[in-house]
């Protein structure tokens, strides 16, 4: 008895024809997307043109370095300060405390006669020399913007900035309040939030470890700390190297920002 059913792998089998056609269409579509459309959408000289897009997607670009696109420029000025161990303070820093004290007379209205502010401006007494120097340089370059600070640093040379930094770093820090103790330390300061890529604040800012260029935070005015964290979170401040603070602050909740500011300000 003859079996007139079509063979499984045969063009006469409509199921085989439809399946093979669908697979072929899907294959051609993925090739087009992966080797032509997506590479062509890249704003890179290596992907310009159909042949370049196909070759680059296959891992064999026609040119490696000669046609490489220039580095992506940041949308806003960023810090150009290169931090080195020599900026940690001490004799190697080259700063003059006496000359810095004379230059600091222009700063007393906002930062206090001895670096302790009575207004909503940062306390500079005892601040790390490298941190002060970096921020002053950033104010000069426009990496950090301030309508008050920008005109204050105009005309100051690099040695002037080093002298100011050395002077304020030599002053005694204000007393750390009782609220700023381990039992009052909020979780965001003590342990951070690893699942949200938030490191403990103290791992950079002095409670547990010190990172070069990171400022000592306590005691500082609550409103100042809160406004700076919010500025980092909203990308209004962008002079943090490698966007470290922006990446942290944008993942913090409003309550965490307020809690960390309160802790470092020494307030309840």
27 in a structural domain: yes
pLDDT at 89 exceeding the cut of 90: no
77 in a structural domain: no
Together in a domain, 146 and 191:
no
Together in a domain, 191 and 229:
yes
CB 100, CB 168: distance < 8 Å: yes
What are 219's two structure tokens? 């005691």
75 in a structural domain: no
Least confident stretch, 46-60, 94-108, 119-133, 244-258? 46-60
DSSP state of 7: P
Of 113, 100, 106, the C-alpha closest to 148 is 106
Together in a domain, 190 and 224:
yes
Write down the mean pLDDT value for the chain: 83
74 in a structural domain: no
218 in a structural domain: yes
Question: Considering its fold, how many domains does the chain have in total?
Answer: 3
93 in a structural domain: yes
pLDDT value of position 160: 95
Give the structural domain span for 119. Answer: 85-170
pLDDT at 82 exceeding the cut of 70: yes
What are 186's two structure tokens? 């909020």
């Amino acid at each position: 008895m003859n079996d007139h059913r079509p063979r499984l792998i045969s063009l006469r089998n409509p199921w085989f024809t439809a399946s093979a056609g669908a697979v072929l269409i899907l294959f051609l579509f993925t090739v087009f997307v992966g080797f032509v459309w997506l590479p062509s959408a890249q704003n890179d000289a290596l992907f310009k043109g159909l042949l370049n897009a196909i070759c680059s997607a296959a891992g064999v670009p026609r040119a490696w370095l000669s046609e490489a696109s220039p580095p992506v420029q940041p949308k806003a000025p960023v810090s150009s300060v290169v931090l080195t161990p020599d900026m940690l303070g001490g004799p190697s820093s080259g700063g003059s405390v006496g000359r810095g004290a004379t230059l600091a007379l222009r700063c007393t209205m906002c930062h206090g006669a001895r670096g302790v502010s009575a207004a909503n401006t940062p306390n500079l007494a005892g601040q790390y020399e490298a941190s002060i120097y970096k921020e002053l340089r950033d104010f000069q370059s426009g990496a950090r913007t301030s309508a008050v600070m920008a005109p204050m640093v105009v005309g100051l040379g690099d040695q002037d900035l080093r002298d100011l930094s050395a002077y304020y770093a030599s002053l005694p820090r204000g007393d750390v309040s009782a609220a700023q103790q381990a039992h009052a330390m909020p979780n965001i300061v003590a342990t951070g939030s690893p699942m949200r890529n938030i490191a403990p604040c103290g791992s950079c800012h002095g409670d547990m470890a010190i990172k070069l260029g990171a400022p000592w935070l306590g005691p500082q005015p609550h409103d100042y700390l809160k406004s700076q964290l919010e500025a980092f979170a909203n990308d209004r401040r962008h002079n943090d190297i490698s966007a470290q603070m922006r990446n942290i602050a944008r993942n913090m909740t409003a309550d965490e920002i307020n809690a960390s500011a309160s802790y470092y300000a020494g307030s309840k």
